[in-house]
Amino acid sequence: MTSSIDIERLLAPRVLEIETSGIRRAWALAANCVDPINLSIGQPDFPVPDELKAAAIAAIRNDHNGYTQTNGDAELLASIEKKLTKDVGWSFEEGSGLSAMVTSGTAGALTLACLAILGPGDEIIIPDPYFVIYPTLARIAEGKAVLCHTYPDFRMTADRIEPLITLKTKAVLLNSPGNPTGAVLLREEVQAVAKLCRERGILLITDEIYDEFIFPPTVHASPASYSKDVLVIRGYSKTHGCTGWRLGYAAGPSRLIDEMSKLKQQTFVCAPSALQKAVVDAHEIDLTPMLNKFTERRNMVVDYLGDVTELTKPDGSFFAFPRVPAHLGLSGSEFIAKAIEKDVLVIQGSVFSARDTHFRISFAAPDDQLEKGLSILRSLL
């Protein structure tokens, strides 16, 4: 039975102007690959720690299956506050002006933040290259994403941000460690960005989903260490291998968290309750073995590709963003098509940027597959 109404006429501009993910398009090109080497997925290849699996099962059996409070399970919120107090020195005592909330993934936190602060014509400054949903979220909120050019070193510094600030600027969105680049900002760099935003009366949003994926001797620096006028967004999906659990959190000025909470209450209500219970003690798990493994993989990427193309060494996350050498005469999209012909899946740079000169590699892949894929990419480069 076909529809008797014109659905096309009913669709809102906000959805018509959103493109299908470029990552999905790359996967479509790879549909005919036989046993492809997949270096495209931004998902950890390690299982959820057994402690969290056991805690999730126990929570379900103990009937923690109903709604939680909108801001989240009380035990988990206490755990989050303890973590942030340790990491950035914030106090969440009454009167501090700071609050936290659990969200349905970090994407949920970013969505709520954009809807809470952006309206028609408002601007948010984002890095270029950027995580794929940043421009889309601004559009959904009827605002505009202003791209901050960070090539070739991928550092979103105060000097690069300041010329982009206008009377319409509501926020700056920082992402360190970065996806797709793996760049990690220095303490003095995040401090300068925090100072700039505070002086200009702009909200600083810091997307820190990869905060535990830092390769020694690099250390993670959060702008929240230098200002309370910051919205910190973190989560458990990447660090604990539970992307499908959809668990993130946001913390920052209470007035903003309150408004985000209102939106959450009227939309997706709460993150999965049993899984909130499951990650209460997640911050106590030693992630060193995982980090050591990913450091080795990062080194493998640099060893294979560092001398055949322009590659900014990733200091965090599990991504690298090499440039397609100019002498090949290929765009990022054209290069990934050639890689797919060799059964290697990587993602073209245009998915993450206004430019199409690079491509993204995910090294969240088994060592043997990663090494095989890197060998093929090296030969192509």
The CATH code of the domain that includes 367 is 3.90.1150.10
Domain membership flag for residue 362: yes
Same domain, 181 and 272: yes
Strands (E), the chain: 37-38, 98-103, 123-128, 144-149, 169-175, 203-207, 230-235, 248-253, 319-320, 344-345, 347-348, 359-362
Dist. CA 381–CA 363, nearest whole Å: 18
Q: What is the pLDDT of residues 194-204, one digit of tens each?
A: 999 999 999 99
Mean pLDDT over residues 42-71, rounded?
94
Same domain, 131 and 275: yes
Same domain, 215 and 336: no
Mean pLDDT over residues 349-364, rounded?
96
Mean pLDDT over residues 50-73, rounded?
96
Cα of 323 vs its chain's centroid, Å: 21
Dist. CA 277–CA 260, nearest whole Å: 22
Dist. CA 87–CA 204, nearest whole Å: 18
Count of H helices and E strands in the chain? Answer: 14, 12
Confidence of residue 1 (pLDDT cuts 50, 70, 90): low
Confidence of residue 12 (pLDDT cuts 50, 70, 90): confident
Same domain, 237 and 146: yes
pLDDT mean across residues, the chain: 94
Has residue 296 got a pLDDT over 60? Answer: yes
Domain membership flag for residue 55: no
Q: Looking at residue 177, what is its pLDDT?
A: 97
Q: Where are the alpha helices (DSSP H) in 120-173?
A: 133-140, 158-161
Q: Distance from first CA to last CA of the chain, Å, rounded?
A: 51
The CB density around residue 299, as the number of other CB atoms within 10 Å, is 14
Mean pLDDT over residues 322-346, rounded?
95
Q: Where are the alpha helices (DSSP H) in 72-146?
A: 74-88, 105-117, 133-140
CA atoms within 13 A on the CB side of 165: 19
Has residue 30 got a pLDDT over 70? Answer: no
Contact partners, residue 337, CB within 8 Å, separation at least 6: 29
Q: What is the pLDDT of residues 304-333, one digit of tens each?
A: 999 999 999 999 999 999 999 999 999 999
Last residue within a domain, chosen from 284, 314, 330: 284
| CA nearest neighbour of 186 among 302, 315, 291 | 315
Q: Looking at residue 29, what is its pLDDT?
A: 64
Q: Looking at residue 17, what is its pLDDT?
A: 76
| Phi/psi at 30 (5° precision) | -90, 10
Q: Which of 14-18, 85-89, 98-102 has the lowest mean pLDDT?
A: 14-18
Q: What is the share, in percent, of the chain residues with pLDDT greater than 70? A: 96
Last residue within a domain, chosen from 244, 261, 284: 284
Q: Looking at residue 323, what is its pLDDT?
A: 98
Q: Are 242 and 52 in contact (CB under 8 A)?
A: yes
Give the residue numbers spanning the domain of 371: 7-47+287-380
Q: Looking at residue 61, what is its pLDDT?
A: 97
Mean pLDDT over residues 276-292, rounded?
94
Same domain, 210 and 102: yes
Q: Looking at residue 332, what is its pLDDT?
A: 96
Type and span of the H or E element at 239: none
Last residue within a domain, chosen from 284, 316, 332: 284
pTM above 0.75, yes or no: yes
Q: Looking at residue 38, what is its pLDDT?
A: 93
Q: Looking at residue 255, what is its pLDDT?
A: 97
The CATH code of the domain that includes 171 is 3.40.640.10
Same domain, 236 and 291: no
Same domain, 27 and 98: no
Has residue 295 got a pLDDT over 90? Answer: yes
Domain membership flag for residue 198: yes
Q: Looking at residue 341, what is its pLDDT?
A: 92
Mean pLDDT over residues 35-58, rounded?
92
For the chain, the domain total comes to: 2
- Between 114 and 33, the more confident residue is 114
Domain membership flag for residue 73: yes
Has residue 180 got a pLDDT over 60? Answer: yes
Taking 3-state DSSP, the helix, strand and coil percentages for the chain, each rounded to the nearest 5, stand at 45, 15, 40
Same domain, 15 and 78: no
Same domain, 141 and 265: yes
Same domain, 98 and 225: yes
